Amino acid sequence: MKTRTVERKRLVPHTVDGETELVLDTEYIEVPLPPRDWDSLVRTGVTVIACALVTVSLIWTTASVGDLLSLATISAVAYAAGVAFDLTWIMCMGVEWLLRYDPARAAVPRRAGHVALAISMGAVFAHGHLFGQMSVGTAGAAVSLLAKGGFMIAMRVHARPLDPLTAQWVAKRRAAVDGQLAMIPVRRELLRGEALVEAERQARIAESGGSTDPDRSADRPDPSAPVRSNRSLTTKDAVRTVWDRGIREGDEAVREIAKLIGRPVSPDTVERYLRDLRAEAS
């Protein structure tokens, strides 16, 4: 059995001259080496080869189509446009991979990728045909076909097919999450709209000379207004009433509370309720 050496460190007590301290001790042990995962290595190799094929195809198509388009425009623009021919079906394959668990949505990028591949192959073949090199044009067009085929095979290696019931479960969960994600920009848009409406309302009130304070002074109780006595009012409620009127001092509060309830009130009781209200306010 193959093994590998593993370094492990741990704290151990060490005593010198009767004084013990924890020190770091290093030891090397041999542990069994797991068997090589050939499936993972082959999967990685297939992926690397597929990416290499796509890179070669992109370079060849760009060179061929760029040379073809340079007959009608400057070289920099022609070769920049040539990149788009293979990048289009490469992008479609990437989208198809992201939507691999949603077959209905993945069908559109799959068909678009086939169309883009056909256009790319046709452009490469047209380049060879224009210069009288039919065999070169045919072989060059086959490069893109081989690259896309290799990448599709690599995608199948990494794919994890779902049974029909699991696929429905995934679709429902994704729909619920997608609905929540979609509501994020909707809520932001609504908040922005409400803010604009409120800003417009405030601006119109300011232009008309009105007050923009929603807590209008007319709705506030007038401290100078005469106070009517109410014998059914409790002392605690009366303390709350005078507190809301802005009366915070004990003697003044006692007088106002006596007017409210129509009978004498204990200053200690009033002070106790006022302390509670001060604690709440703080």
Q: Kindly state whether residue 206 falls inside one of the protein's structural domains.
A: no
pLDDT for position 259: 80
Where does a domain end: 124, 158, 192?
158
Q: Kindly state whether residue 203 falls inside one of the protein's structural domains.
A: no
User: Quick one: how far is CA 141 from the chain centroid?
Assistant: 41
Q: Kindly state whether residue 139 falls inside one of the protein's structural domains.
A: yes
Residue numbers in the chain where pLDDT is lower than 70 = 208-233, 282
Q: Kindly state whether residue 65 falls inside one of the protein's structural domains.
A: yes
Residues 145 and 48 in one domain: yes
Q: Kindly state whether residue 68 falls inside one of the protein's structural domains.
A: yes
CB atoms within 10 A of CB 149: 14
Range of the domain at 63: 42-158
pLDDT for position 4: 85
Look at residues 245, 243, 265, 263 and name the one whose alpha carbon lies nearest to residue 254: 265
pLDDT for position 210: 52
CB atoms within 10 A of CB 240: 16
Residues 89 and 143 in one domain: yes
pLDDT for position 217: 42
pLDDT for position 261: 78
Residues 129 and 46 in one domain: yes
Residues 23 and 68 in one domain: no
Where does a domain end: 125, 142, 158?
158
Q: Kindly state whether residue 92 falls inside one of the protein's structural domains.
A: yes
Residues 96 and 125 in one domain: yes
pLDDT for position 218: 39
Domain count, the chain: 3
Look at residues 93, 24, 28 and name the one whose alpha carbon lies nearest to residue 58: 93
Q: Kindly state whether residue 212 falls inside one of the protein's structural domains.
A: no
CB atoms within 10 A of CB 72: 8
Q: Kindly state whether residue 195 falls inside one of the protein's structural domains.
A: no
